[in-house]
Structure formats: structure tokens, C-alpha cells
């Protein structure tokens, strides 16, 4: 039998036993994923790092699934050195398996800060900025959660203009026009659901009622179109071109 000291507590370990094995027997928690009691250790996941004194006298992190118990070996399972090692190891694993809830839950259990799970959004905030600065609907905002920051519905009402979706570089914001209703959503969360208007020229659904109201209130009427028109951009262009040609003819 060998005496080792884990976190200041003297424990007895068997000859040839690993530090992880001794810690597990004594209910001392060390995170690990690649260890299996029936298999030889591989040291792959790097999660089980503990702090020990190296032969040169320096404090270093060593893998407890590989490190064998030695008489009077002093081990720390919690220290600044161990925390930094764990954070790096967890984040390296999450780069390979970003959706793994097992790794995320284990990191949470040991209080390790890890990168938020990917949801397609790169947090460029283009959608929020355009909605605030240009459209002025304030329909989007960044929400902080323990899992990271996400774009969510803001304080203002979405007018269904679709500018956010058009600017989004990762196509995370979706527009779905169906049964005369436009739905704007981010990863399943509905930001706005608004009725659509039909173009009087070509008959296609082209803009939401709220967006047209917003445009009417914030811009001047085009001289070549009716005051209260319902025309899509293609039909407006067509009308505008026709009006200019007619004006040209009259001038000649
Ligand atoms: S949803 Fe798109 S536009 Fe908005 S922050 Fe994320 S990536 Fe950028
Ligand atoms: S348990 Fe994976 S490296 Fe030790």
C-alpha cells in the first residue's frame, strides 16, 4: 500500500494504481471521458489533468488516468493550473464535437467556461444594427444566456421587411411566405408573423401590410406612381420607365 496526498488529504492507494483510480475509490471527482476501467488508459481526452510536483520541482499538470501513485505524492485536483488546463481540454473537445451535451454538462459540473454551442449565428449583429439604425423597428436584440449570446425578438414589433434576413451572412434568419402570411424566424424562434399584400400589377405577394405602412409614413410618394399603390418593386420600375418614356415623347 502507498500513501498519497490528494487536496491535502492523506489516502491509501494500491501498488500500480493510477491517481484517477485512487481518486474514484475515494469519491474525489476528476473529469474524464476516455477512461474505461476495463481498458488500458490512452490519455486522449486530457480532461483528467491534476497538479503535481515534477521531478525538477516545478508544479505541472499530469494526466491522472496515466499517472501512477507514488509514496507521498502530493496531488491537487483543483487549482489555477488545473482550471486553465481543463478549460483548454474541454474547448478542444468541443471543437470536435460542438453539439455534445455530455461534454457540455461535464464542463458545467466542473464550472468550466466553454464556447457557446453553434447555432449558425456568428454574432456579427448586422441584423440587429440594421433593424435599429435603418428600419428603426427595434425588433431584434442580443440576449445573454449561460450558454452564450443569441439573437432574439427585441422590444419593438417586427414589420416583416426581411432586411435582417437579406443581410445575414450565414442565412440564419429565415423568411417564409405562405398563405398570405410572412413568417420571420431565427432557429425556430418566430420573430414576426405578418399578413402579406398582393401586387396590383403582377398579382404576386410582395410585402407585408406593416412594412408598406412603415414606408408610407417614412417616405415621400414617387411622382410616377399612384398615391396609394400596391405594386411590387418590379412593377413600380416598369411603371416608372413607362412614365419617363411618355414624358420623353411629349417633350419631342
Ligand atoms: S442572425 Fe445573422 S445577421 Fe444576425 S448576428 Fe447572427 S449571423 Fe449576424
Ligand atoms: S481520462 Fe482522458 S486523458 Fe485521462
- The protein residue with its alpha carbon nearest to ligand 1, atom 7, reads 121
Find out whether 145 and 156 touch, Cβ atoms under 8 Å. no
- The protein residue with its alpha carbon nearest to ligand 1, atom 8, reads 124
- Please give the distance, rounded to the nearest whole angstrom, from the Cα atom of residue 3 to the centre of ligand 2: 23
Q: Please tell me the predicted confidence (pLDDT) of residue 89.
A: 98
Find out whether 105 and 55 touch, Cβ atoms under 8 Å. no
DSSP string, 6-31: ETTEEEEE-TT-BHHHHHHHTT----
DSSP 78: S
Tell me if 48 CB under 6 Å of ligand 2. yes
Query: Which residues form ligand 1's pocket by a CB distance below 6 Å?
Result: 121-127, 151, 167-170, 172-173, 186
- Domains of the chain (ranges plus CATH)? 2-109 (3.10.20.740), 126-251 (no CATH)
- Please give the distance, rounded to the nearest whole angstrom, from the Cα atom of residue 72 to the centre of ligand 1: 55
Q: Please tell me the predicted confidence (pLDDT) of residue 221.
A: 65
- The protein residue with its alpha carbon nearest to ligand 1, atom 6, reads 121
Please write the tens of the pLDDT for every residue from 146-188. Answer: 777 899 999 999 999 999 999 999 999 999 999 999 999 998 8
Candidates 208, 19, 47, 41; CA nearest to 112 is: 47
Using a cut of 0.75, tell me whether the model's pTM lies above it: no
Task: Mention every residue, 6+ apart, whose C-beta is less than 8 A from residue 110.
Answer: 29, 31, 86
> What DSSP element (H or E) covers 193?
strand 189-198
In ligand 1, the atom with minimum distance to the C-alpha of 171 is 2
Cα–Cα–Cα angle for 35, 112, 20, nearest 5°? 25
Amino acid at each position: 500500500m502507498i500513501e498519497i496526498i490528494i487536496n491535502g488529504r492523506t489516502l491509501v492507494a494500491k501498488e500500480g494504481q493510477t491517481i484517477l483510480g485512487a481518486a474514484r475509490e475515494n469519491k474525489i471527482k476528476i473529469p474524464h471521458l476516455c477512461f474505461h476501467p476495463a481498458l488500458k488508459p490512452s490519455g486522449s481526452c486530457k480532461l483528467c489533468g491534476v497538479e503535481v510536483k515534477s521531478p525538477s520541482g516545478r508544479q505541472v499538470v499530469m494526466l491522472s488516468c496515466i499517472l501512477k501513485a507514488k509514496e507521498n505524492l502530493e496531488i491537487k485536483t483543483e487549482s489555477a493550473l488545473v482550471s486553465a488546463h481543463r478549460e483548454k481540454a474541454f474547448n478542444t473537445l468541443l471543437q470536435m464535437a460542438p453539439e455534445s451535451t455530455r461534454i457540455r454538462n461535464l464542463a458545467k459540473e466542473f464550472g468550466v467556461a466553454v464556447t457557446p454551442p453553434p447555432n449558425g449565428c456568428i454574432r456579427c449583429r448586422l441584423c440587429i444594427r440594421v433593424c435599429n439604425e435603418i428600419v428603426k423597428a427595434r425588433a431584434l436584440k442580443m440576449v445573454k444566456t449561460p450558454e452564450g449570446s443569441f439573437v432574439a425578438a427585441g422590444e419593438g414589433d417586427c414589420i416583416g421587411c426581411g432586411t435582417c434576413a437579406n443581410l445575414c451572412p450565414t442565412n440564419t434568419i429565415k423568411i417564409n411566405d405562405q398563405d398570405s402570411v410572412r413568417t420571420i424566424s431565427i432557429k425556430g424562434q418566430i420573430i414576426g408573423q405578418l399578413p402579406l399584400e398582393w401586387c396590383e400589377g403582377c398579382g404576386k405577394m410582395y410585402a407585408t401590410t406593416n412594412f408598406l405602412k412603415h414606408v408610407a409614413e417614412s417616405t415621400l410618394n414617387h411622382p410616377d406612381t399612384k398615391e396609394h399603390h400596391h405594386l411590387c418593386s418590379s412593377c413600380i420600375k416598369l411603371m416608372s420607365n413607362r412614365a419617363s418614356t411618355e414624358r420623353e415623347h411629349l417633350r419631342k
